[in-house]
């Protein structure tokens, strides 16, 4: 029974009680004291009920109006979602699509109905799927919005690169309950722009070049990343005892900076004449081209750091020294007729710090290698390496 029907019935009942009361009062043979007190109370309660129903009716009218406004507002945002020029997707934490707008359907050349219930990974080529799976697994461990470049496969067989930006929605327990994606196709003009990242001169032009001579300490700004145009930079830290530890080498084409490390005592020293340019981290974050330019360079630094960790993990000092020399041969070696010449002179102290040993031990081991013919020095005292195990 709805409120209107209930209101009409209470009005009829109230009228009947009023008629009954009037009839009882005008009948001369019925003494007034015979009217039961309950009759009066029922009539009073009925009037109160009528007032309450009337108030409820007004509240119901307001509720209907609010529901209408909410439905209108919901439709407004639904229209914004559907007609947005950007491609939007909503998935669960595993990447199953709940919603997709028209732009997303057009981008993948599919109907929205077909996309709903499908895994996002289904629209990615086989060779790209593991990359997307790893990305989805990492999302649950982070509260930050993330971005990813993925190659998508359209229904007609054509593929394209797209930038995916995702925001995570969590419940009160902190569990990821849905993912909201923006999919932006990287057009050919942007891909052509990204193809220029192999030419480092494109972003070093019109920037001030900082020059350092051998032995100079390079000033570090936590808001900048330094790019080595020429030369070699020694990256080091210091133990509690004050001993220097070599943690990396940045040669031409590589990057370094205090923003790329958690080490407090981090120092950069020019091992020869060095030329650098500085790029602000905010500029890199705002430029897709710079981001793609620096990604392989940061990857190179990470690989080098892991190589140093492997060297330090060797038990015997002899093995650490041998692996360090092989590493330096690969990083700064120049092929010669009589072996591989290191393009930079390293002191025994530098080598000892990289091997986690003393300068005296390095001097003794280097002397042995020289006697055995595995290493030698040219007229300018540059180290020449030959094959040794």
Q: Which tokens hold the place of 356?
A: 């986690």
Where is pLDDT greater, at 320 or 143? Answer: 320
Highest mean pLDDT among 44-48, 148-152, 241-245, 319-323: 319-323
What's the pLDDT tens digit per position in 330-361?
888 888 877 888 888 888 888 888 888 888 99
Task: Tell whether the model's pLDDT for residue 212 goes beyond 90.
Answer: yes
In which band, very low, low, confident or very high, does the pLDDT at 373 lie, cut at 50, 70 and 90? confident
The pLDDT mean for the chain works out to 80
CB 125 within 8 Å of CB 214:
no
Which of 71-75, 86-90, 140-144 is predicted least confidently? 140-144
pLDDT recorded at residue 211:
92
Task: Tell whether the model's pLDDT for residue 27 goes beyond 60.
Answer: no
Alpha carbon distance 356, 366 (integer Å): 15
Task: Tell whether the model's pLDDT for residue 243 goes beyond 60.
Answer: yes
Where is pLDDT greater, at 20 or 1? Answer: 20
CA distances from 200 to 203, 254, 270, 297, 315 (A): 6, 10, 21, 11, 40
Alpha carbon distance 140, 81 (integer Å): 25
pLDDT recorded at residue 192:
47
Where is pLDDT greater, at 82 or 46? Answer: 82
In which band, very low, low, confident or very high, does the pLDDT at 1 lie, cut at 50, 70 and 90? very low
pLDDT recorded at residue 120:
92
pLDDT recorded at residue 38:
45
Q: What is the mean pLDDT of residues 49-63?
A: 74
Residues recorded for the chain: 389
Alpha carbon distance 352, 349 (integer Å): 5
Question: Which residues are CB-contacts of 289 (< 8 A; sequence separation ≥ 6)?
Answer: 193, 194, 196, 197, 203
What's the pLDDT tens digit per position in 152-161?
888 776 788 8
Instruction: Return the bridge partners of 162, or none.
Output: 150, 185
pTM of the predicted model as reported, rounded to 2 decimal places: 0.49
In which band, very low, low, confident or very high, does the pLDDT at 203 lie, cut at 50, 70 and 90? low
Residue 86 belongs to what H/E stretch?
Answer: none
Where is pLDDT greater, at 200 or 244? Answer: 244
Q: Kindly tell me the sign of the dihedral angle through the C-alpha atoms of 113, 119, 124, 125.
A: negative
Where is pLDDT greater, at 12 or 69? Answer: 69
What's the pLDDT tens digit per position in 104-121?
888 888 888 889 999 999
- For 84-170, where are the alpha helices, taking DSSP H only? 102-108, 112-115, 126-139
In which band, very low, low, confident or very high, does the pLDDT at 40 lie, cut at 50, 70 and 90? low
Task: Tell whether the model's pLDDT for residue 177 goes beyond 80.
Answer: yes
CB 297 within 8 Å of CB 281:
no
Residue whose tokens read 């009023």: 18
């Amino acid at each position: 029974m709805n409120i209107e029907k209930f209101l009409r019935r209470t009005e009829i009942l109230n009228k009947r009680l009023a008629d009954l009361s009037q009839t009882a009062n005008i009948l001369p043979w019925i003494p007034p004291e015979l009217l039961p007190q309950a009759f009066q109370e029922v009539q009073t309660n009925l009037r109160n009920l009528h007032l309450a129903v009337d108030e409820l009716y007004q509240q119901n009218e307001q509720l209907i109006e609010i529901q209408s406004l909410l439905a209108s507002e919901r439709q407004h945002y639904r229209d914004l979602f559907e007609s947005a020029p950007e491609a939007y997707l909503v998935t669960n934490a595993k990447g199953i699509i709940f919603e997709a707008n028209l732009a997303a359907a057009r981008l993948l050349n599919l109907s929205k109905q077909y996309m709903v219930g499908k895994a996002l990974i289904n629209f990615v080529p086989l060779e790209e799927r593991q990359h997307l799976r790893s990305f989805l697994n990492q999302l649950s461990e982070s509260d930050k919005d993330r971005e990813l470049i993925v190659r998508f496969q359209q229904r007609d067989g054509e593929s394209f690169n797209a930038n995916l930006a995702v925001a995570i929605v969590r419940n009160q327990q902190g569990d990821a309950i849905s993912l909201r994606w923006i999919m932006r196709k990287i057009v050919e003009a942007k891909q052509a722009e990204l193809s220029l990242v192999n030419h480092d001169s494109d972003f070093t032009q019109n920037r001030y070049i900082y020059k350092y001579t051998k032995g100079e300490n390079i000033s570090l700004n936590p808001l900048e990343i330094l790019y080595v145009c020429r030369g070699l930079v020694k990256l080091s830290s210091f133990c509690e005892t004050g001993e220097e530890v070599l943690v990396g080498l940045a040669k031409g084409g590589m990057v370094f900076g205090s923003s790329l490390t958690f080490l407090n005592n981090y120092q950069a020293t020019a091992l020869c004449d060095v030329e650098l340019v500085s790029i602000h981290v905010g500029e890199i974050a705002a430029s897709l081209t710079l981001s793609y330019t620096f990604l392989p360079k940061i990857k190179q630094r990470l690989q080098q750091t892991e190589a140093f960790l492997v060297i330090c993990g060797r038990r015997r000092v002899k093995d650490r020294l041998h692996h360090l020399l092989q590493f330096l041969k690969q990083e700064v070696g120049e092929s010669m007729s009589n072996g591989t010449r290191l393009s930079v002179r390293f002191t025994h102290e530098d080598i000892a710090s990289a091997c986690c040993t003393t300068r005296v031990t390095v001097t003794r081991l280097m002397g042995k290698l020289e006697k055995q013919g595995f290493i030698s020095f040219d007229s300018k005292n540059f180290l020449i390496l030959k094959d040794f195990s």
